[in-house]
Structure 1
């Protein structure tokens, strides 16, 4: 009997115990990718609103405004210039600049139109004051100096606006965190439902593993690894589309930061959000699948 000259065939790669099921995985992949996409948009939008609120707070906390009131028999422009000089002389004031009538009329233009105001219309002038970072001057100090000089004026330290900005920023942050929590909960619920359906579809394989001595933890880890990979893939897809939408809004839309619109600008934080999204999606999917499968296995045996 002659020997077969062909070398023995190399052992094939063992098939996975839980092979992928494209028929069930495709819809789950799409839903998970959409949830990651929405979570990324919510996180990027919250970061933009956070940045805008911080910028507003920095501007309001470091400035005061003096409104020079027009009074018969007084030169409002001269009063504004004198008020700027008094403010500049106070300790804790970095800069004080008196506004002109043309600047005041430009501020009134959105309400009164751009055809020009009558020359005899009394228009209050503004004095913009920039405070020092260390030991800034207070509104009481400035008010006392203006009253001593007899200048009819009203001092605004922006405290009212600062409180409104703080409340708005806090509300925006809470809403963003709540939205992210809801999306994460929805993703966990979808993955748990899919893991239970996958467990039921592979009941014969699970029973065979249990008969040969596999523990519940080992079986749960099989589902955990499978859904972790699916979560990573869905996270990459969702983060990519969120990145594309952010680019479109940043460079393809109208001017940024108009009014209360958050600024979309890419920074290290944006990159961190988009980079961590697939990892977090994979971890949420793995944990949800493991808990759901372990719970069903305990109830079955």
Structure 2
């Protein structure tokens, strides 16, 4: 009998056997190691820089909000001072000044300071138990201004000069100018600190990128000489350092937000103490506004993007040395 030829294998089975005999392609590893000591160190550095930058943003926002509150309070009040002199009846002059102030446009309330209130104002400088008979202390009349109706200080100042001898109108403009200058100086210092922190972050990323390229110099050189585009190599480093920047930035941002919340909670818990009274006198209600939290989120994003772009630029500069 003639042996029958064996049936040909089915097409799908043949393809599977052929695929099994093919050499498997090696899985390509990343150019930049996914984890290294330098990478962990860079994350810590970025987290610290982000934390400091976020604290700076919070401090600048607090100073700005406090200065705006002070400015609003100062703009809502003005003061009439009546200087004592021989032969002047301060009570009668103060009463006349009150009548003129109440008739002025834009004034919603007029309140004269009593002797006890004036003494409390001077107590931090002159001590307690003051005698007004021995000191030429002016009489004060405080005017509260309207938020909607404009106030004309020139008209009231002219009326006081004619009818109230020794009376002057202090609109606190000089104090307000100094306050605005101080706030602007502090904001400028905060922005300077923020710029220094970002500069330090950029320098740290530059050194870390150069270290990563030095550690993988052979791989980078081979890829470069066999024709790999510079954009491909730079993209590998950029993605790696973007992840490092996000990780460190999020850690620093979360730590800064936690610091803000702890500070607000501590301020609320210490209400009534001497330290809380001093903070309340300086900052009012110690509270970090939503703009500060938005600033922290922006700082995290900026540092992550800055880290990625800095590493990419550093790789391009380094690859030029291979040519």
**TM bucket, shorter chain:** 0.7 to 0.9
The structure 1 residue matched to 2:210, chosen from 189, 193, 196, is 196
Determine whether 1:266 maps to 2:288: yes
Compute the displacement of 1:133 (Å).
4.1
CA contact (8 A) 2:242 2:307 kept: yes
The structure 1 residue matched to 2:247, chosen from 223, 230, 233, is 233
Aligned to 1:224: 238
- Distance in 2, matches of 1:281 and 1:263, equals 31
- Distance in 1, matches of 2:78 and 2:210, equals 62
Compute the displacement of 1:87 (Å).
0.8
TM-score normalised according to structure 2 size: 0.82
CA distance 1:209–1:104, shift in 2 (3 Å): same
The structure 1 residue matched to 2:300, chosen from 275, 278, 287, is 278
Comparing 145-154 with 11-20, greater Cα deviation is found at: 11-20
CA distance 1:111–1:22, shift in 2 (3 Å): same
CA distance 1:244–1:117, shift in 2 (3 Å): same
- Distance in 2, matches of 1:227 and 1:264, equals 37
CA contact (8 A) 1:49 1:262 kept: no
Which one has a bigger Cα radius of gyration?
2
Q: Can you give the 5+ residue segments of structure 2 that lack an aligned partner in the other structure? A: 1-12, 14-19, 268-274
Determine whether 1:36 maps to 2:63: no
Comparing 129-138 with 271-280, greater Cα deviation is found at: 129-138
Compute the displacement of 1:99 (Å).
1.5
* 1:208-258 deviation per Cα after TM superposition (whole angstroms, max 9, x unaligned): 322443200110011011111101111111112222322333332542644
The structure 2 residue matched to 1:83, chosen from 94, 97, 112, is 97
- Distance in 1, matches of 2:285 and 2:148, equals 29
The structure 1 residue matched to 2:228, chosen from 206, 214, 218, is 214
CA distance 1:262–1:74, shift in 2 (3 Å): closer
User: SS of the counterpart of 1:155?
Assistant: strand
- Distance in 2, matches of 1:21 and 1:193, equals 17
CA distance 1:44–1:264, shift in 2 (3 Å): farther
CA distance 1:261–1:135, shift in 2 (3 Å): closer
Aligned to 1:299: 321
Compute the displacement of 1:193 (Å).
1.1
Compute the displacement of 1:143 (Å).
2.2
Compute the displacement of 1:259 (Å).
5.0
Q: What's the Cα RMSD here?
A: 2.7
- Distance in 1, matches of 2:175 and 2:301, equals 40
Aligned to 1:47: 61
- Distance in 1, matches of 2:315 and 2:177, equals 49
- Distance in 2, matches of 1:21 and 1:34, equals 19
CA distance 1:262–1:129, shift in 2 (3 Å): closer
The structure 2 residue matched to 1:145, chosen from 159, 163, 166, is 159
CA contact (8 A) 1:37 1:241 kept: yes
- Distance in 2, matches of 1:12 and 1:240, equals 40
User: SS of the counterpart of 2:130?
Assistant: coil
